[in-house]
A and B are shown apart, each in its own frame.
Chain A
Amino acid sequence: AIQLTQSPSSLSATVGGRVTITCRASQGIANDLAWYQQKPGKAPKLLIYAASILQSGVPSRFSGSGSGTDFTLTISNLQPEDFATYFCLQDYNYPRTFGQGTKVEI
């Protein structure tokens, strides 16, 4: 199974700041990667799919990039509601696999 390694596992940031989260795949996965946000006690929410396509309704301060093995999720102008845990998910092959998550804290 393809392993996805996210870094860092957690980070501290400030409102208005910029955050970059990395997801590295154990083998090339083209651009078959999505990013999800999860807040405590809630279901995950789709942010980005196909590595860089912003899901409808998601603020443009979220952006995704990368292909092959290295991917990034960038959050610009961090807002209070962005403090959450972020996961990547590959759909290059089966079984689908998630990264372990990155917690963004104040």
Chain B
Amino acid sequence: EVQVVESGGGLVQPGGSLRLSCEASGFSLSSYWMHWVRQVPGKGLMWLCNLNGDGKSGAYADSVKGRFTISRDNGKNTLYLQMNSLRAEDTAVYYCVRDLDYSDTRGHHFDALDMWGQGTLVTVSS
């Protein structure tokens, strides 16, 4: 089955660290841009970061830049999100998402987040 499955969520104290994993199956992670998106339960969606197929290009939302690091191990077909200096406001469900990586005839790339994991809940609380 073609899917992504997140793991690693849980309860962590403020200031602590956590590493989320996203294991891909049924496709090669190295062929796709990947994203992390989070959602406070009952609230809206927030884009966090992305990373290209070879792991050399990506970007972060300002609120997590310097605290979160996205990485990938294509040999393990796994994406990671290392989260440091966690705050209460980081409490959310975290989704790993594949980008369809569509480009038009001009070569312009469009994000199309076509495959979402089930999400993993991170709770930051003392």
B59 engages A95 (CB within 8 Å): yes
B55 → chain A closest CB, angstroms: 17
Main secondary structure of the interface of B (DSSP, over half): strand
Binds A, one of B21-29, B70-78, B81-89, B110-118: B110-118
B59 engages A49 (CB within 8 Å): no
Q: Which residues of A contact B100 (CB under 8 A)?
A: 46, 49, 55
A49 engages B45 (CB within 8 Å): no
A94 → chain B closest CB, angstroms: 4
CB of A76 within 8 Å of the partner chain: no
Q: Which residues of B contact A82 (CB under 8 A)?
A: none
B52 → chain A closest CB, angstroms: 13
A46 engages B114 (CB within 8 Å): yes
Interface string of A83-106 (1 = CB under 8 A from B): 000010101001111111100000
A53 engages B113 (CB within 8 Å): no
Q: Which residues of A contact B80 (CB under 8 A)?
A: none
CB of A44 within 8 Å of the partner chain: yes
Chain A CB within 10 Å, residue with most, of B62, B113, B116: B113
Q: Which of under 10, 10 to 19, 20 to 34, or 35 or more describes the interface residues of A?
A: 20 to 34
A55 engages B110 (CB within 8 Å): no
Interface string of B94-126 (1 = CB under 8 A from A): 010000101010000011111011110000000
In the complex, the chain B residue whose C-beta lies closest to that of A46 is B114
A44 engages B45 (CB within 8 Å): yes
A43 engages B62 (CB within 8 Å): no
CB of B11 within 8 Å of the partner chain: no
B102 engages A49 (CB within 8 Å): yes
Chain B CB within 10 Å, residue with most, of A49, A55, A87, A100: A49
User: Which positions in B face A, CB cutoff 8 Å?
Assistant: 35, 37, 44-47, 50, 59-62, 95, 100, 102, 104, 110-114, 116-119
Given contacts A95-B61, A98-B45, 19 further A-B contacts (CB under 8 A): A32-B110, A34-B111, A36-B45, A44-B37, A44-B113, A46-B113, A49-B110, A49-B112, A50-B110, A50-B112, A53-B112, A55-B100, A55-B114, A89-B111, A91-B111, A95-B59, A95-B62, A98-B47, A100-B44
